[in-house]
Amino acid sequence: MAKDKRPIVAIDPGNEKCGVAIVYLDQVLMREIVARGDVVERLRAVLPKAGPIVVGDGTGSKAFIQELIGAMPQAEGRIVTIDEKRSSVEARSLYWRQHPPRGWRRLLPVSLQTPPVPIDDYVAVILAQRYLDGK
């Protein structure tokens, strides 16, 4: 995939919340979890300056893409779907690298621990990295 010189907007669509990340080259500029009903409005501010829009291909992604195009026709043609397989596992690993367990939790393997917060935003980062890696 050709690399765009503009930031990538990556979205992990969900039924109740969406993970959103803006990635430029190898830097994560923004990462957040947005309520599903607010995600289109949140994207309005960043899409004019962004390049590709990377969307995970999981459950509900087709409906989300149609909703996004309906609300923002300029998004059509810029949307790229990315395989979400095992993205949650990779996102959990990324979370623990950035937030190592403390206290007695550091004695347990992180593969046996669940992050204390939703990680949909980390999944969006993984999707952006997959796009950049050409996967």
Among candidates 90, 33, 24, which has minimal Cα distance to 52?
24
Number of residues written out for the chain: 135
Domains and CATH numbers, the chain: 8-133 (3.30.420.140)
pLDDT of residue 93: 94
pTM score of the predicted model: 0.91
The three-state secondary structure class of 124 is helix
Q: pLDDT tens, 31-84? A: 999 999 999 999 988 887 788 999 999 888 999 999 999 999 988 899 999 999
